[in-house]
Every structure is written in C-alpha cells, then in structure tokens.
Structure 1
C-alpha cells in the first residue's frame, strides 16, 4: 500500500494528465472558431477565461507534482513543509476557486452547448474521443451536456482525493513534527473547498434551471454569467407587501420581484434587513421602497430560511466576494451592516429623480458624507441625514451660459440651506451670510463684481430672501451709500444717504423713494431742511442756512436748463452763527436705535449660547472661513477641505468652555479676552470679525462723513456691551456643563462698567481706523486753528514762550538749557520741560483711551517733577500754575489732530473716571487746546514775535 505522500503524487500525475487532455481535446477546439454574433462573442469570452483558469490550475498542479517528487527523492534533504501543496495552500486553493467560478459561469449560461452548435459536425465526430474523460458516466445526450461532465468530474474527484489523503498524511507524522500544523491547516482548507464546490455546483444548476423557466423578457433582464440563484419562492413560498409579487428570486447580488411582465430589481448592497421580526414576517428597506415578507406558518421555518439567506446574501454582496467555505452556517441570521458606502441612481419621481448618490447610507437613506449628482449638471457634496442634505455641503448649479455655475457653500438642514453660507453666483454676485429654508434670512452681505458697470454691495439684514431691516447699500454707479431701514427689498423707513461729493441727507423713504421733508448737509456745511428730488435737488418748500449764518426760506424748483430757482425771504441780519450748529450736526441719532441695528449679527450667537454651545452647530451659527472665495473650477471636495477646520485644539467648544472657567477670575480675565477676541476660531473672535465687517461697510470709503461720527461712536460702545454679554453667556454655559451654579445676572450699570472698562479697550483697535477718521473730519476746523497756534508758538524760544505764557520765572528750568559759546538763553528752543514733552508725545502711540490718560497723568508728573527740581523742594502745582506750563508742553509736543484725540478719549473714556483725576487732567488738556486755537492767542503771539529777544 502506498503511503499518503506517494498517493498524493499519483493524484497530481493523473490530474495533470487529465487537464492536458481536456485542454487539447475540449478547450482548444471550442475556441478555434470565432463567432460573429454578439452573444456568441460573450460565450467565447467565458470560454477564454475558463481556459486561462485551467492553465493556471495546470501550472500549480505541475509545481505541486515537482515538489512532491523532490520530497520523495530526497526525503532527508527536503522537508515536508517545502511541498507546494502545504506551504502555499492558500494560493493553490485560490486557483481552484477561480477555476470553479469560471466553469460554473460557463455552465449557467450553457456556453458549452452553444459553442458546440457552431461546429456541430466536428463535435459529433469527437463524441467517441470524449468517452475516456467521462469517468464511467453515460455518453448519451448532447455533446454540450457531455462537455459539462468532462470538465466537472475530474475536478470533483481531484478535490475529493485531497480531502481523503491529507488527513491520512496527518496520521503518519508525529504530534511534534514541525509540519504537523501546516498539514492540518491544509486539510481543513480543502475540506472547505469541497463544501464550496458542492454549493457552487448546486447554485449553478439551480440558476441554469431557472433561466429555462423564466420568460424571455425576464431572462434577458436578469441573466448574467456571474449571477447565482440563492432562493426561489417556488421552493419556499413568500408573500410580499405592499407589492404583490408573483415570484420572488434571491440572487447573490440582487433581489428580484416579478409581477406580470414587470421585473423589479433591488441591489443587495442597498437592502437593509430589519432584525426585528415576529416569526412570520420580516421587514426589508431599500432606497425608494420598503417591503414586508410574510409567511403562512410560523412552525415551518420558512421565515427563518428566507431571513437567513437574505441577510447572508446582503453581507456577502457588501464584502464583494462569495463566502468561503459556504454561504453562512446554521439558521441563526447575523445582522446586516447599518452603515454602508454605495452608489445608487434614484428612479421614482420627485426631487431626486434620475439623481445619482454616491456615499454613505444608513437604513435605506443617504446618511453621512456623500455626493449627489443630477442629470442636468447639478451636484451636491457634503453631509446627509436620513436622505436629506444636512450639515455642511457644497452645491454647484450650472447656468445657461457655458462654464458658469452658482456655487453654494452652506450649511443645510433637512434639505434646505439653513445657517451660515457663502454663495457665488454665475453672475459674479457673492452672498455671505445666513439662510433659513433655502432663502437669505438674517444678516448677510451681497456684493457684485467690482468690474461690473453697476457694481453694488449690500450689508445688512434679510427676511425670506429680501432685504428687510437695517442695512447698508453702496451704489457705485451713483456714488452713493444708503444707511437705514429696508422692507421687501426696498428702502423703507428712516434713512441716511451719503454721496461721494460729501453731501449727507437724512429723511424717510417709502417704496424706495424719498418722501416728506428731510435734512441735507452739503460739504461746505450749508444746511437745507425741506423736500428733494431723487438727485438731492431742492424741490418745494424749504429753508437754507448758509455757513455765514444767512438763511433763505421759501419755495425751490428747477427748470429745463435754467438751474435752481427760488422764491422766498433771504435773512442777512441774523447773529453770527455758532459753526458747530451745522458743521457738527450728527445724523441718524435716534432714527436707528443702536441696540437694534445689528441684531442679525448678535442673534445667531445668542441662539448658539441658548442651545448650550454645541460643537456641531458652531460653524452653522457663527460662520466659517474659506481661504479663497472664487475657485469654482476646483473640485467640491477641495472646497470642502478648504474650510478652516473647527475641530482642532484651538476651535473645539469643549476646550473653549474649559478655558472660560480657567480664566474667569478678574486678574486673568483681560488676558483671556485678549486671546479670545484675536482668534478667528473662537466664538468671540468670530463675532468681532463680523462686527468689524459691518463697521467698515458703514463708515469706510463714502461713509467717512463727519456727520456720522455720532452713529459710529455709539455703535462701538454697543459692540463692547454685546461682546461682554456674549462672554457672560459662554461662562454660564461652561458653569452649567460642570454642574456648577450659574453666576447672578448683572445689573445694567455693572454690565456697562465692565463693557467700557474691560472690553472696549480691547476691541477699539479693530474699529479705530474708521472711527478716528470720522473724528478727524468732525474736528478739522478746530484742529486747523490749533495747528496754526502751535506753528506760531514754535517760532518762540523757550524763555520767550515761557514769558509769553506768563509762567512765573522762578519756575523756569534754565539749568536745563545748556549754552554754547556766544549763545543766549533766548535762542534755545525745545529744551525746557523736555521729559514732559517727550512723555506727552507718546499719546499717539496707543489707541486705548485709558492708556492715553495714563500718558497724560505721567506728563503732569513730569512737569511737577521738573518744577520740584527747579525749586529744590516738592511742589504741588495749582491750576493757575499748571495751565500755562501744560500749554507750553502741548505746544512743544506738536501732536497732530489733538482735538480729534481729545474728543475720542472723552467719548470712549471709562465712566468710572468721570469726576476723578483723569477727568480733571483731560479737562485741563481741553483748556490748553482751546487756548491754542483762540483768536487772542494768535494775535498776541504775532505781536510778541516782533519784540526784542528776552
């Protein structure tokens, strides 16, 4: 009797010879003729694949045979573990599986029967030659049926020999033999292969039988070489509701419901099996339909068989390959994966009709990240929830013109844009702001391309897709800016119009037109109160007040080419006017309450805090940042990645709230707020940046008009109050998350003190450029007189100026004047009180009013220290001594635009300093400023300059 190794050698020799004969007598002749019809070419392709698989099987068998011969010839030199069948068992197994799949694919579509018809006479002659390959089976029947057996029997017998001999090989080697585990593993693999082969053959036979039974229409729709029937309702009846199917077919890739001439197919990758069932019914979900499989008897296990097979088939389809060794085990069903990534094209009528979705799914609905594409070119990349766009997403909508798209980079909720978004339209318009139910709603900025002939920009509030509420619009074509109220996309309510020529109008609008009387301030400070045309031309009754105080009261009109004409009373006898009555007149105050101007900006933050600051809503409510705004040609995936990530260490809400608690003590609070307001990922920083945008839109460019200074300065103070309230909201949420008691609500006075004392100095730099420009324009006349005053005084030497200002001579620091040869005290300039002068000049190095006041306090200290040094004792300066010395220091410091500086400090000063030292020092500085611009000062300085030196 041969030992197992010798028997394996004989098995390999016989199988190799059989493969050679099959190739020579069957496969090569089958492939000799090239069929002309398309179906024949498909059969030819299957036979070619079978021959390729047969050749691979032959090669691996030959190598296995060679390794067995080496082992038997040199047992001492070649170990058992070097035998190919053992050391490369997985590879050998894979080659067998590929051959089985190629063979059964030909078998299912009857490729052998079809191929033999092309050369029927040849195969009739070859019938006798095939008898040795039939392994004792009858040769009756068609040649095609004989070929099926010729290719099937040798393989079946060969695998059975492996299964019989490998366990015998295990028995012949000791328990401690180094190759024992390898042999045991190989025996197990080929045992599984035998089960797989039986199942594959059974499924192929059942599938082949089914194709004969189906109508030609159904067969043409369903028949493919790789498809296998797993279950048929003819064998185990099932009722499907709501669709009454006559036949239910479960294949390894699709579920089929036959209803009359209709064939309904469902991709198993998109079939969800509900694990909950009552023994007689179970539930299936698909992207567009859902079914109930019902069975008559709970006891006959029909429900369990169908449930098990459908579940296992779905799992197998998702894996993309057949189960090995067999399809499942037992009747206990596993659960199908809830979440998957598959592509599907919707068929049912509706908004998704013919759209293709590729991405993540959950229980029959797009859920997670995915891409949705419509046939008309629309596509959406982003997040989905239960079948609807939900979360951040980017949608491209093609326009009629070539290469033009509307690009929506937005947050979505239940299929509609909701929250913050950026929309770039094919018309070169860009909208950045908030949406609700797909429409612009809340705060937003709509801007046209600058190169357009009639460019415009709107910054303000929207309601249901229309401008409504407080908003700012620039009309570049007319050179105008409108600041005021809107309704239904038209100017409606109180408004201020500023022109590029410097004119400023305030009045009421209705349906986009000026109605009723208004106020017009021209650039030369002429004031008109009355009615106007659209082009701000006087029309009707009105009153003009000229800068020199004259008034004209009457009726105004204009004729074609005749210019302005009037009929009224000109009053030239009026007293000289106070220039500040007209040139410093402020518009808009009272018409637009400061606390209600930018509710569309504050509102989303309040909503965010009220919701408990959820991290997943942070971006939708507070906005995101995109590095580049006009990149429509880039892929949407790139645009998604282009957003600044909000889940890093700097932007995670959990970390932000933790930090709020760590730094909410008074000594650390300023440090925390400074950091938070400067971060583009912190909610407070996001809010500040949006407020900066609104401020620039209102007061930069055309809006840099002195008559808007009042609006601007009260707006900055309101922003400080709102940002402090925002911080307090974050603190309360942080305390609640830690289970701590919230802090008591602040009263209005405390809230204002904190906002002015703590927040205002931190945010003022963000608004300073536009705000200070308004102060410059408003106080331009006073600053001009002040500049003339210090220019006159700059001609004085130090001693002459001290004498002119009536500074007592015992206070003069003459020791500070270092004289050169032939030089007198009266020729030296800019040396006295030099430390105080240099100190005061530092006022312009900061924008913080408190720091400016501290500079002023140090300047006063330097003056007093110099006087004390001169006197040789400590000396406190009374007001009558301080004022002339301070005038001297101010004139020598030569600070430009001192009036604008003083008024900004006064307006933005912390209220706690009112009536205190800082208030006193600022009042003294104001007095110096007024002295330096007075007419008396100018006349006296001119006369003193003509006197002999002191």
Structure 2
C-alpha cells in the first residue's frame, strides 16, 4: 500500500476509532443498550486492543516531542554530514508515520470485530490477514532507525540543538520515565525511539502464541494465526540482529582514526565481523585490521583502506583447517586463522555476507537462515572498475563473472572512449566482440567486429576505420593475417582495394590491388606491404606488363603487351618505361630489335634492326599471348581462403569455431557512432538452422547417392551459411577482384580459366573433408578416391555447379580474346542472311535431294520453296538454346540434339532413315549455324572446349564440337567470297 493511500485510509479509520472509543467508555459507564453489544470477543483481543492503543499513543508522543524537534535542523547547512543526518531523520519520521497508520488500521479492524462479531471473523484482524504488510512496515522503521544509529545522527543533532533540549529536560524526563535510560542525551533519544517498537513486537508474539493455544487446531483462522506467529517471530529475531549490528557498527567508529572514520562511516555499512574480535592474518597484503560489513570487505593498512565489493568476492576453501582464499577481480588473498574455529567463523560469515549482497537484501529472519542457498553462485553479474596498471587500468567492466574474472558476455569501457562488447573467457576477450576506438577527429571511430582469442583479435573480422577504410578478413594476435580485403574510402585521395594475403599486418603472398587513381591493377606476389616477386600490371588503357618486382618496382627483364597485341620483350625502368635492350613484335609480324630509351620529351627512342620479311603471324598464336603463365602456380594462389576451412575440418568441425574460421556476413549497415547502441550488430549466426554444423553433417550423410549428391551440392553451394557456400562466395569475391573492371583483359583469360578449374577441385576436396568428419562421428571411415575418380567427379559434378558463379567474368575474357574472330564470323553471318533458303543451300553445296522443299509441278524457272526461311527450323531453334545455359555438358547436349534434328528433317525429306556422312553434315550444319545467328560463337566454342569433361575427348561430343568449330571457321572465310556475288542473281532472288 502506498503512503498516500494509507494516509487517506488512516484518516477515515481514525474517525471510526475515535467514535468507537467514545462508545466503549459510555457503554462501560451507563450500560446503554445501544452499546451492550460492544463486549470483547476474548481476553486475547482485549489485550491486543489495549496494546495497540498504548502503542499508538506512544508513537504520537514520540513524534511530537522527539522526531519533530530533531527535524528542525537547518536544511541549508553546508556541512555534508548535517545534511545526511537530516535526510536519515526525515526517512525515520516517514517510517514512523507509516507505522502509526498501520497501528490505526489494526485498531480499526479490532473495533469492527468488537461491534460486529458475527460479520467479522477472527481473520478480519489486520494482524492476521496482513501479517506480511505489518511486518514490512516494522522492518522499514528499524532500517531507518539503524541507519540513523550507525552514523550517530541522534547524538549529532541533539548536540547541535543542546540549548533546546536543556530547556526541555523536564518534559523529556516525563516522556522517558520508566524506560530505564542512562547515558548521554543522544543515547536516551535512541533508546526512546527503539524500545517502544521492540516491546511492541514482543507483545505481538506473546499475543499470537496465546491466541494459537486458545483457538485450537480446527479453527478456520488457525492457518493465518500460525503464519503470523512465524512472521513476527522472525521479525523479532531480525530486529535483534539488526540492532546488534547497528550498535556494533556505531561502536566501531570510536576505535578508528577520524580519517578512517570519514571514509568508512556510511549509513549502509553494518559490521558483521572484526579481526580484533576473531583474529585473522591476510596474505600477501599484511592488513592490520580486517572488517567485514554486510556490503563490503575492508582491509586496513595504516591510513590505506582497501575496500572490496562483496558481489565480486569469491570464497575458495583452503586445503587445511586454518586457511581459506578470497578472489577479487584484481587480487587474491589468503585468510589464515589461529585455530580451526576462527577459520570457520570467518569463512562462514564471509560466505553468507556474499550471498546476502548478491540477493540485494538482508537475510530474513537471521543471517544465513533464509531459504536461499547458503553457497554463493560461481557465475555472477556485476560492474567493476580496474585500478591496477595494465591494459585494463581505469576500464569498467559490466557483465558476467566467474571466479573473479570476466567470463561470459559483458562490456568494457575505458575513460578515453574505447568500448568493447562481446564474449569473455577467464578475464580476456574471447569469442565474438565489437571494439570501438575513438580517433582524434571528432565523431570518428575505428570499429572492430571480430573474433577474439586471449584478448587479441584472432579469426575472421570486419573492421570499419575512422578513415572510412574497411577490412574484411582474418586476424592473428591482433594483426591482419591470412586472407583479407582492404578497401579504401571512395572519396580517398588515392582510392585502392587490396584482395589477398596478409602476414603480421602487412600484405604478403599472392594478392591483387587495384589503384583507381592510376587506373591499373597489380596481380602477383607481395612482401612486407610491397610488390615483390613475379607480377602482372594491367592498365585501363589495355596495356599489360609482366615481370619481376622488388621493393614495389619492376626490375630485370619483362614483357609488355599492348591492346593491339604488339609485344615487347626486354628491360624496363622502375616506372615501367622501356629502357635498354629489347624486342618488339608487331601484329603484322614485323620485329624491331635493339636498344630503347626515352628522350627529354615524351617520345621513345630506339636504335636497332627492323625485320619486315617475317610472315604474318597466325592469329591463333596471337591469342595465346597470355600473362602469368607459370608465374603463379594455380594451386597456391588462394590458399589463404582454404586454410581456415581446413583448420575447421581438422578440428572436427567445432560449432563454436565455425564463425571465427569460416567468417560471417554483417546484416546491419556500417555506422560508427559513440552511442552504446552502435556497439551491437546483426550477423548470420552459425547456430541458425541453415548453418548448424550438426545438421549439415547429418544431412550430408543422407545425400551420398549421385543424383541426391548433385542436388545437395547445388543447395549447399547456394547457401551463404553452409561452409561450402561460404567458401564459394569468398572465391567469387577474389575472382571479381582479379578479372572484373580493369582486370577484364584478354591476356588474363588463361589465368582465370585455371582458377575456375582449381576452385572446382578444391571445393570437391572440401566436400570430401566434411564427409570424412561426418563419417568419423559415426565411427566409419571414408573410402580412398583414386585420381581418375576424383577427376570425373570434379569435371562431371562440381565444375558445372560452380561455373555459373564465375561465368560472367570468365565469358567476358573469352569475348575479348576472340573478339577479332567473332567479328569476322559476324560479318559472314550478316552476308549469309541475305540469301533466301534455296540460294543459301545451293551456295553451301548442299545436295538438292536433302533440301526440305515441296514441288508444285511448275516450270523449272518457277520452282521455289513453300517453306522459305523455315528450312531446318527445328534444328535452328534447338541450336539457339546453346546460349541459355552455362554448363559445358548441357551446351554439348544442345549440339547433339541439333544434329539429331538435322537428321530427323533429312529422314522426313527422304522418307527413310538416313545417317549423314561428314561431307553432307558440314554444309547442313553451316546452314543451321548461319540461320541461328548465335552471337560470339567463337567465345562459346572455346569456353566449351576448355571446360568440357576430359572424358568426352575423342567421343561423340568431341566430334560434334569439332564440326561446329569447322563451321565457325568456314563462315569466317566465306566473307571474301560473298563480296563477289554471281551477277545473274537478281534482286528478286535475294529478297
């Protein structure tokens, strides 16, 4: 019940009480019939009524003659101690008023029971129906009283108002008559405020015990009476304990120096144990005195006070009967007693005090006798500011603890603005965590969303820097290590993006860096943050360099390929300028060999021999001018991507390391702010149903049959939470970083082709690694796989599944590489499209009996096709489907079906089944290809040839692809012949 509500209720009840008292006295004197029913229901209730009346009157006198004068202290006093005493006295006055209100309510319930005994049973008495409420009001009063007693508020205020009390001594003696008070005025006031309450509670207990014995076990109110007996018995014990602690605490201050007293004297402290009473030695800190309060452990050493919060104090029993240990966030102590009994006293009291502090309330009814466990939990929550020198100095940790160390989830905050939110293990950051570091610039922060191990970043992380640079990759001991991507801010003066390997915070190993400002991309080896070793530079202008780099500069011989396929082989300056001996091979076959140098201007000077007698080069040889051949072994380029996965597999796929080793995807936008809310983020979690390791391994075992395996792998590779899907997405990132944009250069086609095949091999090995772990968990072993079987699975199963992920960039390189050939082919298609069907069939030397035409018995000159532009339509439409898939096998199947459609048409024309020999097939296939008008057919053919399953080499698919290649080359050569069309073909025939 709130104070305001109780006040309103008490006001109404006080009127009834006054009226009831008047009626009682009148009835006793006159025997008025109106009051004859106001007889007592029992001697116990009559005694209770008198008890409540006396207590109510006593409270009123104490309030008027003691509390009100005590509260008249100057509220504007500048002394903090005076202000604190006034606050505590005001709280005591409030508690006294609430106690008076409850007493009035109890009186009201007694008079209602007296007036209407048949309507109000024994259970209507406030003392029975609201025993817990009455108890709580008494406890609040005793808490307020003991707080005043601990800080000696009565003595201080009485001393400050000594003139008043000297003038009121006669009245005060009358108030305190019979209380047996001796000592100072402050002591007398303290006893006057305590004794009425303790005596009143004692009378409550006696009344309830008498009532319990009187009403018998079968009485309806028996259960309420028993509960009230327990409640007020516990209250009496609690009050005795609370008063004893307050008195002991008050007495403690007189044994301390004024300096120590000023530090330790607070209303909340209650002394539980003093080493002067039960000696104990604390090591390694040689404390002169040990004080155990109900909220803190205090070690005194001269004028130094070491205070330890009980909520963050762990009791560790010792190995012998004389010693036990205490753990705190920064220190560890051993308590050694003189005898086993003293050790038991200290250990028991410290343990119970810790339990009490963690519960946030005093034990009820007495210390250690509550229903809560007597052993404090090992894992707790709390806040602590570190003081010792070190990386945590002045940092405040708030979160979960275990045995004196941050353990679980928590937050670290430093005074300089640094914040860390995440998981902790034995005092160190371990697991996923977000670390915020303020920068010199206003509102600029470095935000690290990473995995941590033993206090350092280790594993996968995403770091957003105050410079707007972003790093996504792996760390070790707080430094970038392994595979990672560093991307500068778009508005940076020199924007760049590095995708590759790192070692101890520096770019090292294979990597790709794009310099947007210079419009060039470097692909190659690094060491100590500089280009070092074999490398290739691709420029936006189409010029490519390949050579050896040292200390970020190209040294020694190298090659240069221009966009028109001119080739320079020789030496360069460090800024990639031709210098020294070299040889230039031009696209027309001419060669220039000699010495090269740059003049004072921008020109190039040379002295050498120009050879014009060489034959024109074979276009196919020009296409083979590929960069990086042999310089970067394909199997070692991106091992930094695969190594975390294999660490995960070799560790038996632990779920708690899945995210740290395989990475995660941030789902929230990048935001760097000082507010605490920005230390949280959403990310794909390994415990999600789609990414749970246990579920993944179990499902993997259920899909081992060829058809089921293909479906499973397709699903796994498309899932960003699956280990295989995560691998594929990272590989896609590296592929795009290398071959998209500036890297879309025809001279890199072979490098890209190699990588796609290698990725298919690595992903198949990754699947086998997961399968091995799944089988081992079932007590089974994975069968060995020979090289032939592995190649069949890689090319027949895995490559078609992963190729779509790289197809866009890869096919672009094929387009660029075969652009000239496809240009000639396109011209040929354009000219052949001018022919009507019959003329084109005749032009291609297709035997006339194979033409799908219908004669209408007209003259020879009037003979024409009724299906003009629709000859071999089914084969043409079938061949066009070759552009609708990226799978080389499916493209070959389209080609096979096209051949089947041609034969079907021929069979229908001849009226009998007919197998076409090569001499008849090629002209018909040229006709179908010309009518299908497939764009970039050369790029399609070469990609199919490079990516097709080796098992098909020499078979039907190889034969059909060779035939298509012949048609493609034939159409290119027809261009010149079509420029001289026969003169007797008129315009009507070409319509």
For normalisation by structure 2, the TM-score amounts to 0.93
User: 1:595–1:718: 8 Å Cα contact kept in structure 2?
Assistant: yes
Q: Please name the residue that 2:904 is paired with.
A: 865
What is the alpha-carbon distance in structure 1 between the residues aligned to residue 980 and residue 117 of structure 2? 126
Q: Is the aligned partner of 1:943 residue 2:954?
A: no
> 1:339 — aligned with what?
379
SS at match of 2:629: coil
Q: In the alignment, what sits opposite 1:732?
A: 772
Q: Distance in 2 between matches of 1:798 and 1:445?
A: 57
Other-structure match for 1:699:
739
Find the partner of 2:314 among 263, 272, 282.
272
Secondary structure of the residue aligned to 1:94 is helix
Which of the residues 786, 789, 800 maps onto 1:750?
789
Contact 2:368-2:374 within 8 A present in 1 as well: no
Q: Which residue of 2 aligns with 1:288?
A: 330
Q: Could you say which residue in structure 1 is the equivalent of 2:481?
A: 441
Q: Of 811, 826, 829, which aligns to 1:787?
A: 826
Aligned-residue offset at 1:829: 4.3
- Contact 1:394-1:636 at 8 Å conserved across structures: no
Residue 357 of structure 2, aligned match among 317, 322, 326: 317
Q: Within the alignment, does 1:604 sit opposite 2:672 as a pair?
A: no
Query: Where do 5+ consecutive residues of structure 1 fail to align?
Result: none
User: Partners in 1 of 2:487 and 2:980 — Cα distance?
Assistant: 55
The total of aligned residue pairs comes to: 944
Q: Structure 1 residue 165 and structure 2 residue 207: aligned?
A: yes
Distance (Å, rounded) in 1 between the aligned partners of 2:425 and 2:550: 44
Q: Map 1:195-234; keep pairs closer than 5 Å.
A: 195-234=237-276
Deviation at residue 614 of structure 1 after TM alignment: 0.5
Matched, 1:925 2:972: no
Deviation at 1:944, TM superposition (A): 4.7
Shift of 1:461: 0.3
CA, structure 1 residues 818+13, in 2 after alignment: closer, same or farther (shift >3 Å)?
Answer: farther
**SS of 1:687's equivalent?**
helix
Q: Which residue of structure 2 aligns with residue 426 of structure 1?
A: 466
Taking structure 1 as reference, are residues 551 and 163 closer, same or farther at Cα in structure 2, changes over 3 Å only? same
Please say if 1:849 is aligned against 2:888: yes
1:51 aligns with 2:89: no
> Structure 1's 181 and 463: CA in aligned 2 closer, same or farther, altered over 3 A?
same
Q: Specify the alignment match of 1:114 in structure 2.
A: 156
1:908 corresponds to: 947
Secondary structure of the 2:981 match is helix
For 2:984 and 2:201, the matched residues in 1 are separated by: 127
Give yes or no for the alignment of 1:524 onto 2:564. yes
- The more displaced of 749-758 and 566-575 is 749-758
For 1:72 and 1:674, locate their aligned partners in 2 and report how far apart those are by CA, in whole Å: 87
Which residue matches 2:130?
A: 88
User: For the Cα contact (< 8 Å) 1:472–1:697, is it kept in 2?
Assistant: yes
Report how far residue 582 of structure 1 moved: 2.8
Structure 1 residue 817 displacement after superposition: 12
User: CA separation in 2, counterparts of 1:117 and 1:244?
Assistant: 39
1:350-406 deviations in whole A, cap 9, x for unaligned?
111111111111000011111111111111111111111101111111111111111
1:749: Cα distance to partner? 2.6
CA 1:76–1:365 in 2, change beyond 3 Å: closer, same or farther? same
Counterpart in 2 of 1:763?
802
Q: Contact between 2:280 and 2:336, CA under 8 Å: does it hold in 1?
A: yes
Mapped contact 2:272–2:293 kept (Cα < 8 A):
yes
Aligned-pair CA distance for 1:630: 2.1
CA deviation vs aligned residue, 1:228-273 (integer Å, no higher than 9, x gap): 0000011111111111111111000110111122111111111100
Match in the other structure for 1:250: 292
Aligned-residue offset at 1:132: 4.6
Q: 1:128 aligns with which of 147, 150, 170?
A: 170
Secondary structure class of the residue paired with 2:664: coil
Match of 2:730 in 1: 690
In structure 1, the residue matched to 2:348 is 308
For 1:843 and 1:774, locate their aligned partners in 2 and report how far apart those are by CA, in whole Å: 19
Spell out the pairing of 1:812-827 with structure 2 (5 A cutoff). Answer: 812-815=851-854, 825=864
User: What are the residue-to-residue correspondences of 1:66-105 with 2, within 5 Å?
Assistant: 66-105=108-147
Q: Tell me whether 1:800 sits opposite 2:839 in the alignment.
A: yes
Structure 2 distance, partners of 1:27, 1:618, is: 68
Q: 1:38 aligns with which of 80, 93, 98?
A: 80
**1:627-776 alignment, distance < 5 Å:** 627-633=667-673, 635=675, 638-739=678-779, 741-776=780-815
Matched, 1:464 2:497: no
Query: Which moved further from structure 2: 157-166 or 170-179?
Result: 170-179
Q: 286-295 or 123-132, which moves further after superposition? A: 123-132
Aligned equivalents of 2:888, 2:895: Cα separation in 1: 11
**Moved runs in structure 1, 4+ residues, more than 6 A?**
330-333, 816-819
CA distance in 1, matches of 2:983, 2:443: 75
The whole-number CA distance in structure 1 between the counterparts of 2:360 and 2:611 is 97
CA contact (8 A) 2:443 2:674 kept: no
SS for the counterpart of 1:832 is coil
Please point out which of 666, 677, 685 is paired with 1:626: 666
Residue 573 (str. 1) matches residue 613 (str. 2): yes
| Cα deviation code 1:483-513 (max 9, x no counterpart) | 0000111111100000010001111001111
On the 8 A contact 1:496/1:506 being kept in 2, the answer is: yes
CA distance in 2, matches of 1:29, 1:526: 108
SS in 2 for 1:322: coil
Aligned to 1:329: 369
Note the residue ranges of structure 2 that are not aligned, 5 or more in a row.
1-39
Residues 474 and 480, structure 2, Cα contact 8 Å, conserved in 1: yes
Change (3 A) 1:638 1:452: closer
Shift of 1:924: 1.1
TM-fit CA distance, 1:648? 1.6
CA deviation after TM superposition for structure 1 residue 872, in Å: 1.4
Distance 2:799 2:979 in 1: 41
Contact 1:527 1:582 (8 Å CA) reproduced: no
Give the equivalent residue in structure 1 for 2:67.
Answer: 27
Compared CA separation, residues 176 and 829, structure 1 to 2 (3 A): farther
